[in-house]
Amino acid sequence: MIGAAYQQGTHVRVISPEGQILFTQKGKLLGFSSEAVSILKGNAIHICDHQGNTLSTHRYTDGKPAKAGSSKSILFYLLLGCLVKIGDAYRLYQFLGRGNTIGTDGGDLNWKNIGIWILSCVFYSVCLIVIIWMSYFF
């Protein structure tokens, strides 16, 4: 039976009702009852009995739900999309550098494609700003 448990530096000390030390383990004390003690070790909660034996282990999430997707992977794909748009901008720069007016050389570069390119650049920029904003506040 557990009488008390307390944090002493980096260790948890568990005491019997008579005042004898039952066990000491490294970790952070989260709570205790007369039957069990919960100790945080790394990113896992260990539930221990009065002898220090681990009864169960649970992943510690600090009250936050686990994320389904990573914002870093979304950010990667957005940056990849921006690189594609930079390549398209360089293609437009080369085309205009030849002295041709847009849509007169029979190629596929016309005002419609340029408008789509500008709108997609705006879309990628807005998505990037939203992801950065969400990473700071959530």
Buried b (16+ CB within 10 A) or exposed e, 126-137: ebbeeeeeeeee
Assess contact for 28 and 39: CB atoms under 8 A: yes
Assess contact for 1 and 16: CB atoms under 8 A: yes
pLDDT at 77: 73
Angle of helix 111-137 relative to helix 71-97, nearest 10 degrees, comes to 150
Residue 43 covered by a domain: yes
Q: Are residues 88 and 128 in the same domain?
A: yes
Q: Are residues 11 and 44 in the same domain?
A: yes
Give the model's confidence band at 87: pLDDT under 50 very low, under 70 low, under 90 confident, else very high.
confident
Residue 125 covered by a domain: yes
The angle formed by the CA atoms of residues 39, 13 and 5, to the nearest 5 degrees, is 75
Residue 49 covered by a domain: yes
Query: Looking at the 3D structure of the chain, how many domains does it have?
Result: 2
Higher pLDDT, 2 or 100: 2
pLDDT at 118: 77
Write out the residue range of the structural domain in which residue 86 sits.
71-137
pLDDT at 64: 58
Residue 130 covered by a domain: yes
> Last residue of a domain, which of 59, 82, 98?
59
Higher pLDDT, 117 or 15: 15
pLDDT at 98 over 70: no
Residue 65 covered by a domain: no
Q: Are residues 10 and 48 in the same domain?
A: yes
The overall average pLDDT reported for the chain is: 79
| pLDDT one-digit tens code per residue, 24-82 | 999 999 999 999 999 999 888 999 998 999 999 888 876 654 554 566 667 677 777 77
Residue 50 covered by a domain: yes
Q: Are residues 53 and 75 in the same domain?
A: no
The angle formed by the CA atoms of residues 106, 119 and 109, to the nearest 5 degrees, is 5
Give the model's confidence band at 16: pLDDT under 50 very low, under 70 low, under 90 confident, else very high.
very high
Q: Are residues 46 and 78 in the same domain?
A: no
